[in-house]
Amino acid sequence: MDIMTGLSAAAKALEIAKSLREFEGKLNDATFKHQIAELYTALADAKMALADARQELSDKDAEIARLKAVDASKMRTVSYNGYNFGIGADGKPIGRPFCPVCEKTKGIQVQITRGLSKHDLCPSCKAVYGTGGYPWKLPDDFEIPPA
């Protein structure tokens, strides 16, 4: 159940409670007991729905915290010709570019490595990069913007 279901059940319970208060003297014993049973059911539904909603909110908070931690652990980058290069704390580039496939699909930074053949590859997703088709390092005259 979600928050709206819980609020709806709580509203129904309040309606029943209000009607019980208004008609308490006019209701016969069986009708009164039936209304009380409906009230307990509505309150139980509201309680379950709100407990489920609390768990959903807790799960979402945990996922947000996890995503923030992942984002905070990523290295600062600079983009060049469609590839992201890591920038160290000293403001200088760090090695080869990150695999764009892993960055986009998994959200992780994995540097492309030199393969045994004529091609470079990603050690994580095994994407192959041609030696002449991508910038394997930043040009020496590349200006890295300040952080």
Q: Which residues of 122-135 are buried (b: 16+ CB within 10 A; e: fewer)?
A: bebeebebeeeeee
pLDDT digits 0-9 by tens, 25-79: 666 677 777 877 888 888 888 888 888 888 999 999 999 999 898 888 888 999 9
Of 48, 73, 98, the domain-final residue: 73
Q: What residues make up the domain containing 81?
A: 77-130
Please report where in the chains the tokens 């069986």 appear, as a residue. 30
pLDDT digits 0-9 by tens, 15-26: 777 777 666 666
51 and 91 in one domain?
Answer: no
49 and 91 in one domain?
Answer: no
| 140 within a domain of the structure (yes/no) | no
Paired tokens of 58: 């807790």
Indicate whether this model's pTM tops 0.85.
no
| 48 within a domain of the structure (yes/no) | yes
Tell me the pLDDT band of 131, cut-offs 50, 70 and 90.
Answer: low
85 and 57 in one domain?
Answer: no
Give the phi and the psi of residue 124 in degrees, each rounded to 5.
-90, -60
89 and 62 in one domain?
Answer: no
Number of domains, the chain: 2
